[in-house]
Amino acid sequence: METKVVLLLGLLAVCGLSQASDVPNENQLPKFCRTSDCPSYQLVKKYDNFEHRQYEETRWVTTSLEQDFLGFGMVKSFRRLFSYINGSNSEGLKINMTVPVVMYMPLKKPPAGNSTMSFFVPHEVVNPPKPTDSEVYLERSPAASIYVKPFGGYAISYTYAKQAEKLAKELRALGLQFDDAYYKSAGYNAPFEIFNRHNEVWYKAL
């Protein structure tokens, strides 16, 4: 009897896993996050060229993004955030690097605000310490329904912008409602990682 139950549970577990692919459950983060902590989500629906995901509530540490053609502004913003996780905070706490690095890109102004860069605050940091740099701040994102277009290779701002345009077209073609006031880019790799690079663009579903 007991053996049968165990077998059945085992079978259920195997079925559950084979169905999962890159869809995380409570104890499993998406494969493309590799060894880093990252936000978890439920796959709502997989389309040909994009996915609909339901994300958990997340916390982020954010700074403004100075955009310029050469990307120096981006490096500055990255350094500010890196400094926060490297101990420039009220507790001198070192926080592990996470993924993705997210950039908020307004498409309309004024109401869509300024562009920003954010690091995900890992699950293990329950009470994130205050940043010491006045240009860095903590944010909470409520649980959200997001359309995500994943793509590979090295991505620069231009690449993300083009992919966002494509995603917007695909969403409109299917009559899916989304907030077109901004998109977010999500990068999952350090520059030195050459293979299996994973990038995404996000639109908030309405």
Ligand X SMILES: *[C@@H]1O[C@H](CO)[C@@H](O)[C@H](O)[C@H]1NC(C)=O
Residues that bind ligand X (CB under 6 A): 35, 83, 86-87, 96, 113-114, 124
CB of 105 to ligand X, least distance (A): 14
Quote the least distance from Cβ 83 to ligand X, whole Å. Answer: 6
Shortest distance in whole angstroms from residue 110 CB to ligand X? 7
Kindly report whether the peptide bond that precedes residue 100 is cis, defined as omega within 30 degrees of 0.
Answer: yes
- Three-state DSSP state, 74: helix
Nearer to ligand X, 83 or 157 (CB): 83
- Which of residues 55 and 78 has its CB atom nearest to ligand X in the complex? 78
For ligand X, the closer of residues 113 and 152 by Cβ is 113
Nearer to ligand X (CB atom), residue 43 or residue 112: 112
Residue number with CB closer to ligand X (166 or 204) = 204
CA distance 150 to 130: 32
Instruction: Tell me how far apart the alpha carbons of residues 105 and 95 are, in angstroms, rounded to a whole number.
Output: 26
Nearer to ligand X, 111 or 175 (CB): 111
The distance of closest approach from Cβ of residue 191 to ligand X in the complex, given in angstroms and rounded to an integer, is 14
Distance CA 167, CA 148 (A): 8
Alpha helix (H) residue ranges in the chain? 2-20, 72-85, 157-173
H-type helices in 122-185, by residue range? 157-173
Q: How near is the Cβ of 106 to ligand X at its closest, in Å? A: 9
Q: What is the smallest separation between the CB atom of 130 and ligand X, expressed in angstroms?
A: 18
At a CB cut-off of 8 Å and minimum separation 6, what does 118 contact? Answer: 60, 61, 62, 63, 81, 101, 102, 103, 104, 139
Contact 146, 204 (CB under 8 A): yes
In 3D, which of 55, 48, 49, 58 has the Cα closest to residue 23? Answer: 55
